[in-house]
Structure 1
Amino acid sequence: MLVRDEVLIRPARMDDIEAIASFSAAMALETEGRALDRERLRQGTRSLLATPAHGFFMVAERGGATDSQVVGQLMVTYEWSDWRNAVFWWIQSVYVDPTWRRRGIFRRLHAAVMATAKADPKVCGVRLYVESANRVAQEVYRRVGLQPSSYVVFETDFILGHRRALADRPDEA
């Protein structure tokens, strides 16, 4: 049992869908100015939780059994590497409730993922992408030991389309 305001890091469960979808929507709005379709987001969250072969969510939960609250999250998805004959875990959908930021929530989520990944011989590494203009998040990621990659990500997004970061559009910044 948790003492009030103690934080537990654990795999997400189906009953976390609303909290995860809410955090994912807040993250998209905060980092990219995107308002996501909430029903599609709920369905996507449910699909991932129901299909472990696609990945998993980890959550940070505070409080006790009767008044627990999810205060942070991250999602892990998989990328096969033929070069390594193993998978990379991609950390995505990172969000910590603003009132819980700067309290080590992401650091603890990241540490749990790293410990689990290192213990699995089928995992060859952990990757994360971040919005190019999100300097605060980039500094947090550096502090936990993540380093910028030599790769640049390109995409064709069939659902949301492509939007450049606000920092890349000086006329709108």
Structure 2
Amino acid sequence: MKVRLATIDDHERLVEFQLAMAHETEGIELQLSKVEQGVEAVLRDSKKGSYFVTEINGEVVASLLTTFEWSDWRNGTIMWIQSVYVMPRYRRRGVYRSMYAHIKSMVLSSDEWHGIRLYADKSNHSAHRTYENLGMNQDHYITFEWLK
């Protein structure tokens, strides 16, 4: 199992994963061209974020996106994990655990990074258990949003 930074060569697989994740977790059918453009935008501009993928025997089987939030309280950056997807046949095999360990080690080895945050759909109890088993806890914030 190898976790690595995604490259433009991973574009098609990342798009597949985003479409599958939206369908599985929220029953949403995303617009293919928007997702293709959105994934490419991140791959071409690291200021937007970074995708990481996990390979097993040379096959990309999982991905996640990291984005960044400045914290004036900490005078540093919080890394957000988003868009997590693991192919169904590779779930419950430690794939996400490896990805999380990779991200956590990046945070621990840097003075700039001050923590990791993520959000999960309220009804995705399986994801909640996974994150709790890795030592994450639900924070005291409630997320509000307005989306165009």
TM-score range, shorter-chain basis? Answer: over 0.9
From 39, 45, 50, the equivalent of 2:33 is 39
SS, match of residue 115 in structure 2: strand
Please say if 1:54 is aligned against 2:48.
yes
Please say if 1:149 is aligned against 2:139.
yes
Q: Larger Rg: 1 or 2?
A: 1
Please say if 1:136 is aligned against 2:126.
yes
Percent of pairs identical after alignment? 38
In structure 2, what is the equivalent of residue 162 of structure 1?
Answer: none
Please say if 1:94 is aligned against 2:80.
no
Stretches of 4+ moved more than 2 A in 1?
none
Query: Once the 2 structures are TM-superposed, how far is the Cα of residue 55 of structure 1 from its aligned partner?
Result: 1.2
Amino acid at match of 2:110: D
Aligned counterparts, 1:63-102, within 5 A: 63=57, 68-102=58-92
SS, match of residue 54 in structure 2: strand
C-alpha distance in structure 2 between counterparts of 1:77 and 1:8, whole Å: 21
In structure 2, what is the equivalent of residue 10 of structure 1?
Answer: 4
C-alpha distance in structure 2 between counterparts of 1:117 and 1:56, whole Å: 14
Superposed CA deviations along residues 139-173 of structure 1, whole A, max 9, x for unmatched, are 01111111101001000111xxxxxxxxxxxxxxx
Query: Once the 2 structures are TM-superposed, how far is the Cα of residue 42 of structure 1 from its aligned partner?
Result: 1.1
C-alpha distance in structure 2 between counterparts of 1:29 and 1:92, whole Å: 15
C-alpha distance in structure 1 between counterparts of 2:111 and 2:41, whole Å: 26
From 95, 111, 122, the equivalent of 1:105 is 95
- Figure out how many residues of one structure are paired with residues of the other and give that number: 148
Please say if 1:20 is aligned against 2:27.
no
Structure 1 length-normalised TM: 0.84
In structure 2, what is the equivalent of residue 164 of structure 1?
Answer: none
Superposed CA RMSD in Å reads 0.7
C-alpha distance in structure 2 between counterparts of 1:85 and 1:121, whole Å: 10
SS, match of residue 139 in structure 1: helix
C-alpha distance in structure 2 between counterparts of 1:131 and 1:125, whole Å: 21
SS, match of residue 145 in structure 2: coil
Query: Once the 2 structures are TM-superposed, how far is the Cα of residue 89 of structure 1 from its aligned partner?
Result: 0.4
Structure 2 unaligned runs (5+)? none
SS, match of residue 73 in structure 2: coil
From 103, 108, 114, the equivalent of 1:124 is 114
Structure 1 unaligned runs (5+)? 1-6, 159-173
